[in-house]
Structure formats: C-alpha cells, structure tokens
Amino acid sequence: MRYPCPLVLAAAARLSLTGTTALLFDTFVSFAIYETGDGISAEEVCTGAVGMLNELDDTLSRTKADSEISKINKNARFRKSDGRHIDI
C-alpha cells in the first residue's frame, strides 16, 4: 500500500483550487484545477477547457441537430452488396 508523501500534501495545502461544472457531451463534467503560479490562473484554465470541450461537443454531438455528426447521420446512406444505396 502506498501513502502520499507529506511534502506533497503540505505543498498542495497551500495551492489555490478552482473548480467548475459544465454540461458537456450530454453529461455533467466537473473540473478541479490548482493554481500553478506560472501566470495562468486556474479560472482561465477552467474557462479554456470548457470552451474547447464545447467546441468538440458542437462538432461531435449526435444529439445536437446542427452538429457535424448529426448532419452526417441525417444524410447517411447504406450501400447494399449489389451497389444500390438505401437512405437510412
């Protein structure tokens, strides 16, 4: 069994934690981001992550009517072994 290093726990206790929850990909997603002190705030990281995932969701969602995947699915065709196409 491994135990956390006390130095790591002490360092983590001094870090500022920012969290957010968003509805993405038809489910709730939660983020917990610690400040790193590198000039980018944890809030900016959360906002950026949610923004990138929203873009992916807008493109890849099968439940959003205007997403690329929904458009592909809407216009899907099935090719039979004899070469004819059947709209699905």
What is the DSSP-derived secondary structure letter of residue 62? S
Would you state the pLDDT for residue 6? 42
Q: What are phi and psi of 34, to 5 degrees?
A: -95, 145
- Secondary structure string (H, E, C) spanning the chain: CCCCCHHHHHHHHHCCEEEEEEEECCEEEEEEEECCCCCCCHHHHHHHHHHHHHHHHHHHCCCCCCCHHHHHHHCCEEECCCCCEEEC
Residues of the chain with pLDDT under 70: 1-14, 77-80, 83-88
Would you state the pLDDT for residue 58? 92
Share of the chain above pLDDT 90, in %: 16
Would you state the pLDDT for residue 43? 86
Would you state the pLDDT for residue 46? 87
